[in-house]
A and B are shown apart, each in its own frame.
Chain A
């Protein structure tokens, strides 16, 4: 539904993913979604140019997040929240399959059944 408002499935995905992960880099979003990296990067830059997102460097990676200083962020996030919460849980797990919580090095990964 959000894609219809925004006129772009990549834009919809980027906003949903940033809502889910809080902050993320372009390669992660492209890997999770299957969209081309260049399409994701271009969308992130467009949102950043519009002031809705900000980015910061973490090592050699550029992380994007919602711009907490923009007056547009809260209303846009409310819209994204509706779209996110109406996604079936199965779709959500499929769309956002990267882990963002801390994980001790060497801890084994137990595959999901």
Chain B
């Protein structure tokens, strides 16, 4: 797969490029976090970092694959010298959203390979998890951006919020989303 236009490349382009090469080298990765919100909001939110969850046993090979692509390790991150506005991170797994670890990621076919990211509903849950547990309003905003531009399963989100003990946060999210929808219509 051809390299993206490094100085201008978006989260989506970099994700596809990196995930495709990792997959070609037998490494299964799933994109999570703010970059997914950036992709689903079509760039309305800019993340800056791409978080990939990788099975523990495949971690050791990641560095060598990325270095072949021109990425340089800096602390816990990998940065491409021609793409300083985006960096890659590999947080510890497993793939989970709060206490739910039975996550089925969404797949996209890129040059005959499947690459994976959180579904829109899981992306909203993931962003809400940070709002619920770290009280970060910016991630609530990201959840709203995704939910207003993608089709999401509100029942699934509600049930998960109930399990996380976060009904007031769900109600707040739902009310804000309703306001946005009424503005859009």
Contacts and interface: CB of A to CB of B under 8 A. Distances in A.
Physical interaction between A and B: yes
A51 B92 contact: yes
Interface residues of A, number: 9
Interface of A: 49-51, 56, 68-71, 74
Interface stretch (B17-25, B98-106, B114-122, B150-158): B98-106
Contacts of A56: 134
Contact of A68 (B94, B98, B100): B98
B133 interface: yes
B92 A50 contact: yes
17 contacts: A49-B92, A50-B92, A51-B91, A51-B92, A51-B93, A68-B98, A68-B129, A68-B132, A69-B96, A69-B129, A69-B130, A69-B133, A70-B96, A71-B96, A71-B98, A71-B99, A71-B101
Interface centre among A56, A70, A71 (most CB of B within 10 A): A71
A110 B133 CA distance: 35
A70 B133 CA distance: 11
Contacts of B99: 71, 74
Contact of B94 (A49, A71, A74): A71
A51 B97 CA distance: 13
A78 to B, nearest CB: 12
Interface in B82-99: 91-94, 96-99
A51 to B, nearest CB: 3
A59 B93 CA distance: 29
Contacts of B98: 68-69, 71
B63 to A, nearest CB: 15
A56 B136 CA distance: 12
Please give me the 6 A-B residue pairs with the lowest Cβ-Cβ distance, nearest first: A51-B92, A68-B133, A71-B96, A71-B101, A69-B129, A71-B99
Contacts of A49: 92
A21 to B, nearest CB: 17
Contacts of A69: 96-98, 129-130, 133
A56 B129 CA distance: 16
Nearest to A49: B92
Nearest to A68: B133
A14 to B, nearest CB: 17
Contacts of B134: 56, 68
A60 to B, nearest CB: 19
Interface string B15-36: 0000000000000000000000
A49 B76 CA distance: 10
A24 B94 CA distance: 25
Contacts of B97: 69
A51 B92 CA distance: 5
